[in-house]
Chains A and B, each alone.
Chain A
Amino acid sequence: MADAMPAAPGPLPVGPVGRRGLGQWGVGALIASEAALFAYLLFAYFYAAASARPGWLLEPAPKLWPALPNTLLLLSSSLVAWIGEKGVERGRRAEALTGLIGAFVMGAGFAAVQVYEWSIKPYRLGTSSYAALYFTTTGFHMAHVVAGLVILAMLALWVALDFFSPRRRIVVSAGVLYWHFVDAVWLLVFATYYLTPYLGFAR
């Protein structure tokens, strides 16, 4: 029989340090579940489209203006949020605030343009299953954008209150990660609704 020895680790980090900690796992799980939700929404689109009669697409050639520039705006807001996170990591508060607030403003801009786009669509939620899918999918995404904006605003507030340090900043990393997720999902939604018709899908 070998000797019973309790595990005796050397120095261990105490609490979340940098971007690492239990919270990171939690946000990871949240994102996995929400990614699945969007996967089902897109599945619903492809399923309905594949089994629909011709003429189902209400926009056989979706207008890329203002959707495409708006997509670029949202994607670049991810970059700006990342700069904000780096600012916290380096202990530069001004940089951090600029990044977080910048991302917030860009995200809010995206939301405003999206609402405008909804308002100029020639169809409404109840028009057909295509319309229902379009508004619901983009609506779900909008709900996530709003959640992300609240998160960015809270992060900016907390940074302004000087809560964090290069060491204790997991909340910022987790929030910014969520924002990246919101942006990445949009890319898929955009590709599905605006680009696949050009590839001839469901036309």
Chain B
Amino acid sequence: MTPAALRVPAIDDDTPELRARLHAIWATTPGWKGWFTTVDHKEIGIRYIVTAFVLLALGGVEALAIRLQLAGPDLRLMTPEQFNIFFSMHGMTMIFLYSSPVLSGFSNYLWPLLLGARDMAFPRLNAFSYWVYLAAALFLYTGFLTGNGPNDGWFNYVPYAERQYNPGLNQDFYALGMVLLGISTAVGAANFVVTAFKMRAPGMSIDRLPILIWGTLTASVANLVVVPAVSLAFFLLWLDRQFGTSFFRPAGGGQPLLWQHLFWLFGHPWVYAIVLPAMGMVSDGLPVFCRRPLVGYSLVALSTVATMILGFGVWVHHMFATGLPGLSLSFFSGASIVITVPSAVAVFAWLATIWTGRPVRSTAFLFFAAMILLFVIGGVSGFMTASVPVDWQLTDTYFVVAHLHYVLIGINVFPVVGATYFWFPKLTGRMMDERLGRWNFWTMFLGFNLGFLPMHLIGLFGMPRRVWTYPAEMGWSALNMITTIGSFAFAIGVLLFFVNVAKSWRAGALAPADPWGGSTLEWALPSPPAPYNFAVIPTIASRHPLWEEALDENTPRSTITRGMMLDTGKETVTTTPLDAIPDRIVEMPCDSWAPLLLAVALGILFVALLLKLWLAIALGALLVLGALILWLWPQRRLLEREPAHG
């Protein structure tokens, strides 16, 4: 039978019979087979989040080891070489394996629910992106466990990273691991971009998107074009080390600064990529607890995009101390100062939302509100280092360590933990413990400030970052001890969070569909949602589909219980990019082995490259090719080929 080229989608109510039909079509195969082949964005999202939290814990343990070594003067708990590996592993883990993937995880889980979609645009690509992330994490940690972790800091400057100075496999693990991780990030970003433009429910025009969508979309557009820069940089470094090229080696006419340009061309937009989605979480979550819509929606959405556009123009501020021409410094310094404006817009919007709302002080609210405070502190210290003369004083001191933790922990970890309290009921069907939540919050908040505020002072007193130890005469000992105590307190706070998650997941109170009285679509679904998300495709008429009655806006109402059924296959609908008018019925792929196979093939290829085993490299490449062909082989079910033919 040839499916018709055109069809008028049938419209009906959300009924139990319809749900039963859809369930049979959409559910992942049960058992281990389904575990390996699933393409359900909810399953993949949870995996991303859990894996990222495991890596947060690992990176945290590394940080505690660093803090122990620095707790007092002249300690000898680790050797200098071990210390190098530990702080580099810590930075690399936190930046690349935790901060970004955890946000991808939340976005993977939440996007289709927020958008009124049944899945992401490319479900198999989504699964692939997770598997490659896992492979890269395993790859990098294999290096660490065999004593070959990165050892030149997370931004890995040449010439230290060149083979002459760094003969072990450390840098080769790091370089190839990052190229592998780059594949995961880039395909994930592509998936988000296409999903944002094509998979929204009818009526969800571009001015009705939740801010989390804006945040992740902006970050993804950036990632799509900047991740190749760092992948390339690491690949060239690997060539320099293994094949005697001289991209970064002055002896052969190379340019050490080229590394820094390529790295920060990527690195700075990336820093925004790991905060903008988290800011989106706050922009969407905070208003729910303030019982009012976000103040200044359009401004916040615009400032999200503006931050990223400016973010492309500030990379050189990481290189103020490298002897670049003065004019160039002034330009980038100016851009770095201007970029605080859109960030300030967001801060004022949140404050105004709290001010004019009726705040409900749940744990999630506390985390979101604390984020604003930490953001301001981190922002001010960032603003200070955006000024060239100040930067010359402060660069490479603990002041910078303090700054980057206020930014990263403040704008990534706090919102992410808050988001977990907020969305946990949706993800698992259970509530998290609020009482433990208070303990969790206050330990994290006080511990963090106790540990990291004094670091500003230590920096001003001149303690460089990345030093293995310091003599007692410097007078830094007391502050360092306080910092270490604070770090442990913070770590205990994070531990309480994990305990709460584990406990609540097993035995938390059962969650209703909408425990917080939320405004966006995900709260219209049962907790946890069914495999197909929406039994009928919702139609959106406002920015707050669930608050229309409460806000009593005199506008058309959204409909969530009646709409297109699309139940004759694993179907959903795509819409136009701006106005979200339905334009096509699409078949979605079922469970598939191809993503896992391709990821495994890539893993083999990269291990072979690391060891330079030519036969294995050839085999790995062939496997990659085979997996790709398997994946892309045109399928009748997906209507990629004509059933009547062939």
Q: Which residues of B contact A171 (CB under 8 A)?
A: 632, 634, 640-641
Rounded to whole angstroms, the CA-CA distance of A73 and B399 in the bound complex is: 58
Known contacts being A2-B555, A13-B584, A22-B198, is A48 close to B254, with CB within 8 Å? yes
Rounded to whole angstroms, the CA-CA distance of A41 and B258 in the bound complex is: 11
Query: Can you list 12 residue pairs at the A/B interface with Cβ under 8 Å?
Result: A3-B556, A6-B11, A6-B538, A6-B562, A12-B585, A13-B585, A15-B3, A25-B194, A32-B224, A44-B258, A48-B254, A132-B246
**A125→B227 contact, CB < 8 A:** no
Q: Which residues of B contact A125 (CB under 8 A)?
A: 239, 243-245
Rounded to whole angstroms, the CA-CA distance of A132 and B245 in the bound complex is: 6
Q: Is A197 an interface residue (CB 8 A)?
A: no
**A11→B6 contact, CB < 8 A:** yes
**B203→A7 contact, CB < 8 A:** yes
The smallest C-beta distance from A167 to any residue of chain B, in angstroms, reads 6
Mark interface residues in B338-357 (1 if CB within 8 Å of A CB, else 0): 00000000000000000000
Q: Is A10 an interface residue (CB 8 A)?
A: yes
Chain B residues in the interface with A (C-beta under 8 A) = 3-9, 11, 121-122, 125, 186, 189-190, 193-194, 197-198, 202-203, 224-229, 231-232, 236, 239, 243-247, 249, 252-255, 258, 261-262, 265, 536-539, 541, 554-559, 562-564, 573-574, 581-587, 625, 629, 632, 634, 638-642, 644-646
Known contacts being A13-B6, A37-B232, is A32 close to B225, with CB within 8 Å? yes
Q: Which residues of A contact B562 (CB under 8 A)?
A: 6
Q: Which residues of A contact B247 (CB under 8 A)?
A: 44, 48, 129, 132-133, 136
Q: Is A40 an interface residue (CB 8 A)?
A: yes
The smallest C-beta distance from B220 to any residue of chain A, in angstroms, reads 9
Rounded to whole angstroms, the CA-CA distance of A153 and B236 in the bound complex is: 31
Instruction: For the complex, count residues of A whose C-beta is within 8 A of B.
Output: 62
Q: Which residues of A contact B625 (CB under 8 A)?
A: 150
Known contacts being A4-B556, A12-B584, A125-B244, is A22 close to B194, with CB within 8 Å? yes
Q: Which of A77-136 contact B (CB under 8 A)?
A: 125-133, 136
**A29→B224 contact, CB < 8 A:** yes
Q: Which of A157-203 contact B (CB under 8 A)?
A: 158, 161-165, 167-168, 170-171
Q: Is A60 an interface residue (CB 8 A)?
A: no
The smallest C-beta distance from A11 to any residue of chain B, in angstroms, reads 4
Counting from the closest, the 6 A-B pairs by CB-CB distance are A15-B639, A7-B202, A29-B190, A132-B245, A37-B228, A126-B244
**A4→B557 contact, CB < 8 A:** yes
**A12→B583 contact, CB < 8 A:** yes
Known contacts being A8-B11, A47-B261, is A14 close to B641, with CB within 8 Å? no
Kindly list 11 other residue pairs between chains A and B, CB separation below 8 angstroms, not including A15-B3, A128-B253, A164-B642. A7-B582, A9-B573, A22-B194, A22-B574, A29-B194, A29-B224, A41-B232, A44-B262, A48-B254, A136-B236, A171-B640
Q: Which residues of B contact A62 (CB under 8 A)?
A: none
**A168→B640 contact, CB < 8 A:** yes
**A33→B225 contact, CB < 8 A:** yes
The smallest C-beta distance from B436 to any residue of chain A, in angstroms, reads 41
Rounded to whole angstroms, the CA-CA distance of A33 and B646 in the bound complex is: 34
Closest to B637 in A: A15
**A12→B225 contact, CB < 8 A:** no
**A48→B253 contact, CB < 8 A:** yes
Q: Is the interface of A mostly helix, strand, loop or mixed?
A: mixed
Q: Is A21 an interface residue (CB 8 A)?
A: yes
Known contacts being A15-B585, A15-B587, is A6 close to B645, with CB within 8 Å? no
Q: Which residues of A contact B261 (CB under 8 A)?
A: 43, 47
Known contacts being A13-B6, A150-B625, A163-B634, is A132 close to B239, with CB within 8 Å? yes
The smallest C-beta distance from A22 to any residue of chain B, in angstroms, reads 6
**A11→B646 contact, CB < 8 A:** no
A163 touches which of B186, B198, B244, B642 (Cβ 8 Å): B642
**A165→B556 contact, CB < 8 A:** no
Known contacts being A162-B645, A171-B634, is A25 close to B197, with CB within 8 Å? yes
Rounded to whole angstroms, the CA-CA distance of A49 and B125 in the bound complex is: 38
Q: Which residues of A contact B186 (CB under 8 A)?
A: 33
Closest to A36 in B: B225
Known contacts being A14-B3, A36-B229, A129-B252, is A9 close to B634, with CB within 8 Å? no
Rounded to whole angstroms, the CA-CA distance of A163 and B646 in the bound complex is: 5
**A22→B586 contact, CB < 8 A:** yes
A1 touches which of B121, B125, B224, B554 (Cβ 8 Å): B554
Known contacts being A9-B582, A162-B645, is A15 close to B253, with CB within 8 Å? no
Q: Which residues of B contact A26 (CB under 8 A)?
A: 121-122, 125, 190, 194
Closest to A52 in B: B253
Rounded to whole angstroms, the CA-CA distance of A162 and B634 in the bound complex is: 11
Q: Which residues of A contact B539 (CB under 8 A)?
A: 5-7
The smallest C-beta distance from B617 to any residue of chain A, in angstroms, reads 13
Rounded to whole angstroms, the CA-CA distance of A29 and B228 in the bound complex is: 13
**B265→A40 contact, CB < 8 A:** yes
